[in-house]
């Protein structure tokens, strides 16, 4: 009977031996349930150890009850206390941590139950690494959410955290997620007894081949990093691109940027296209204000002083035209049908440009009518020259 066992042992592959050895190390670091009990209760528990399946079920039920109590009462109590704060960040953090705390206790209970009941051989040796991997994944998912929430909160609190701002928020979130994913992958590989250094060395050749096959995707990724670092625009800015797209930036990703046009259409543009083109940021500069220019014509015989007075009065009376900087009227030249005049004024938000220009043009048309100022249009004088035939027929 010893030969099949020896043959089975020699037939195991090196990878299986590594997993078995790693699983044994994990089990050695986990205490048994009897070690967690007080000394007075240990003799009674030894009676239950005669029935391993019942023992494992009881231990798992104890840990499940503990997880339920923590989630149902302890976390709920903490959440009630956080509702008294002004910020909702702590509420979001607790909501993000509730699932991983529950699952961590459950999976840890499964490891303790399997070791205490003696289920560590054969297929049961996979219980420890699988459960440990699930714990890492649940904590990693919560860490990704928590990092995004914390960075977003810090970037919107510029009075106390000047290092963070809205422009750097996407970059910081992406960098934090990459670091967390790398750490999670590294820990997971260690759980299964895999050397990450060897994988990195073998991945170099594969990386070169993938780089040639996905050069456009990599170009977008590198352009996304440069855009997030250079910060030509931020979330909420109104931009004009070389392709004619104009809208509000709603998302800055590592691969693409999304803008919402005035028609409520979301346009996704690869970062490689934006990185190699010209971007006009209407919300950039020292302040978010934007100057609009309204081109008007008046007749050649009009009183330019009166025209300027009418236009200035119209701009000053408009509630959405800023008083500082003050609006201006400039004569730009002599057109084919009239004198070219431009009314310039500042508005608070670029998104209101179209609507304000609409109301201003209507006001100009109405004011010119009230003051008998002509808005010229192309006119042509036709001169008919008749020639009589001097020859006698």
pLDDT digits over 263-275, tens only?
Answer: 889 999 998 888 8
Higher pLDDT residue, 42 or 111?
111
For the segment 330-345, what is each residue's pLDDT rounded down to a tens digit?
999 999 889 999 999 9
Q: Read off the pTM.
A: 0.57
Mean pLDDT of 166-170: 69
| Domain 290-370 architecture | 2-Layer Sandwich (3.30)
Predicted confidence at residue 26, as pLDDT, reads 60
CA dist 251 and 207 (Å) reads 28
pLDDT of residue 284: 80
Over residues 126-136, mean pLDDT: 90
pLDDT bucket at 142, cuts 50 / 70 / 90: very high
Quick one: tokens of 66? 């503990």
Sheet bearing 256-261, strands edge to edge: 266-270, 256-261, 246-252, 238-241, 279-281
- The pLDDT of 3-32, averaged and rounded, is 51
Q: Does position 321 have pLDDT exceeding 90, yes or no?
A: yes
Would you say residue 126 has pLDDT above 50?
yes
The domain limits of the chain are 11-194, 231-281, 290-370
Higher-scoring residue by pLDDT: 82, 390: 82
Q: Report percent pLDDT > 70 for the chain.
A: 78
Q: State which of 26-35, 177-186, 337-346 shows the largest mean pLDDT.
A: 337-346
Q: Write down the architecture of domain 231-281 according to CATH.
A: Roll (2.30)
């Amino acid at each position: 009977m010893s030969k099949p066992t020896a043959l089975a042992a020699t037939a195991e592959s090196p990878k299986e031996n590594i997993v078995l050895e790693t699983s044994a190390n994990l089990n050695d670091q986990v205490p048994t349930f009897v070690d967690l009990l007080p000394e007075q209760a240990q003799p009674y528990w030894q009676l239950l150890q005669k029935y391993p399946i019942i023992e494992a079920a009881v231990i798992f039920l104890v840990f499940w009850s503990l997880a339920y109590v923590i989630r149902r009462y302890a976390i709920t109590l903490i959440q009630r206390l956080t509702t008294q704060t002004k910020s909702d960040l702590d509420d979001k953090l607790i909501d993000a941590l509730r699932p991983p705390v529950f699952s961590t206790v459950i999976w840890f209970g499964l490891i303790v139950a399997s070791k205490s009941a003696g289920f560590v051989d054969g297929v049961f040796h996979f219980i420890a690494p699988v459960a440990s991997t699930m714990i890492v994944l649940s904590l990693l998912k919560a860490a990704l959410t928590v990092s995004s929430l914390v960075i977003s909160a810090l970037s919107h609190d510029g009075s106390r955290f000047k290092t963070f701002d809205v422009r750097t928020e996407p970059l910081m979130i992406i960098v934090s997620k990459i670091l967390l994913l790398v750490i999670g992958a590294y820990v997971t590989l260690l759980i299964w007894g895999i050397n990450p250094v060897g994988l990195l060395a073998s991945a170099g050749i594969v990386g070169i081949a993938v780089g040639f096959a996905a050069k456009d995707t990599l170009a977008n990724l590198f352009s996304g990093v440069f855009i997030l670092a250079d910060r030509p625009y931020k979330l909420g800015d109104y931009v004009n691109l070389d392709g004619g797209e104009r809208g509000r930036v709603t998302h800055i990703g590592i691969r693409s940027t999304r803008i919402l046009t005035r028609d409520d259409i979301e346009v996704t543009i690869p970062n490689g296209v934006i990185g190699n083109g010209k971007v006009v940021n209407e919300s950039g500069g020292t302040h978010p204000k934007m100057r609009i220019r309204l081109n008007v014509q008046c007749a050649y015989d009009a009183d330019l002083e009166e025209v300027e007075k009418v236009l200035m009065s119209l701009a000053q009376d408009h509630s959405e035209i800023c008083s500082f900087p003050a609006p201006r009227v400039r004569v730009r030249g002599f057109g084919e049908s009239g004198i070219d005049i431009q009314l310039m004024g500042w508005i608070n938000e670029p998104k209101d440009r179209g609507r304000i220009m609409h109301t201003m043009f209507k006001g100009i048309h109405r004011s010119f009518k009230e003051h008998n100022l002509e808005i010229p249009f192309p006119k042509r004088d036709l001169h008919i020259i008749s020639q009589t035939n001097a020859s006698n027929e």
